[in-house]
Structure 1
Amino acid sequence: MALVVSDYFLNKLETSADELLVDLACFLYEKRRMSFGKAKTLSGLNRAAFQKALGDRLIYMNYDEEELNTDLKNLNIQL
């Protein structure tokens, strides 16, 4: 599926198509509609740049207790 946004709207929003994609990816990630990896891919940014884009928008990483336990197990850390 292709999403076409006219230059008229991009000019009215004072943004570029690339920045609009980053905004959309961040929004979908924040709403938990898209995983970090998929949102990063949609944004066209690398991992560090996408993390920065999230931080710039005050969007926190979705990191739940299950992921923490998996990380602790992988690191051989017992609490």
Structure 2
Amino acid sequence: MSSLVLEISNDVADSLQLPPSERISRVQRELAVRLYQKGLLSFGKARELAQMTKWEFHILLGDEQIERSYDLEELQKDLSTLEQLD
């Protein structure tokens, strides 16, 4: 398995207007939201990158006024899940 490592210089990190304890999680959330918005990550993978629950990520997208993409494949999957619950 490969991984992607993003290095941010101390100078740039120190320029973030965030407490040091919030920097990593905030950058992860910001990256996840933008990659989702651009269609580069699915909802599930963006949520995973943001390290948030499904509902937390939905709320974050709402706060950021990001439209959710919902295609036919996702609808079919949801309908299948609902049928299994009956």
Provide the TM-score with structure 1 as the length reference. Answer: 0.76
SS in 1 for 2:32: helix
Deviations 1:40-60 (A, max 9, x none): 000111111111111111001
Residue type of the alignment partner of 1:70: Q
Partner of 1:39 in structure 2? 46
* Structure 2 residue corresponding to 1:61, chosen from 40, 48, 68: 68
Runs ≥4 residues deviating over 3 A = 71-76
Question: Match for 2:76 among 67, 70, 77?
Answer: 70
Structure 1 56/10 Cα, relative in aligned 2: closer, same or farther at 3 Å? farther
- Give the secondary structure class of the aligned counterpart of 1:45: coil
CA RMSD, 1 decimal: 2.2
TM-score, normalised by the number of residues in structure 2: 0.70
- The count of aligned residue pairs is 75
- CA deviation after TM superposition for structure 1 residue 68, in Å: 7.1
5+ residue gaps in structure 2? Answer: none
Q: What does the per-residue CA deviation read over 1:19-58, in whole Å, with 9 as the maximum and x for residues that have no partner?
A: 1110000000010000001000001111111111111110
Which has the higher relative contact order, 1 or 2, with Cα contacts under 8 A spaced 6 or more apart? 1
Q: Percent identity among equivalent residues? A: 31
